[in-house]
Structure 1
Amino acid sequence: MKTWLRKQPSARDRDTVQVCIESPEVTDVTLSRTLGVGEAVYRAVANVAIPEDACFAVPFRL
């Protein structure tokens, strides 16, 4: 998984930074009161639900 920050180009959004994630993958899950099957199902669903190469706007000020 590769993660990076990208500054918004417009002056209007100058207090916003984009956090981008390339090829995210859930590799380790620990759940209480479940067997390994519950953890495997959770991991599989999470890997399908997380979008590929996604960028999220995050408010940021110095």
Structure 2
Amino acid sequence: MVHSPLASAVVGCLVGLVFYLAMPAIVPERMPQRLRLGAAVVVAVLIGLVYLFVRGGLDQG
């Protein structure tokens, strides 16, 4: 089975969006908008990379 990096990007973006929207509930104090957006982008990239490596590792073995 061939794994598409596009799937990793989509999963990362969806998780980042959910994280961005849930951030006020996670961090009660007011965070600047740029900090929230930056944190969501970092989470999206990390989740996308983890998904890519996990799916790639499962497909190889």
Fold match by TM threshold 0.5: no
Higher helix share: 2
Structure with the bigger RCO (C-alpha within 8 Å, sep 6+) is 2
Q: Which structure carries more strand by proportion?
A: 1
Q: TM-score range by the shorter chain?
A: 0.3 to 0.5
Q: TM-score, normalised by structure 1?
A: 0.39
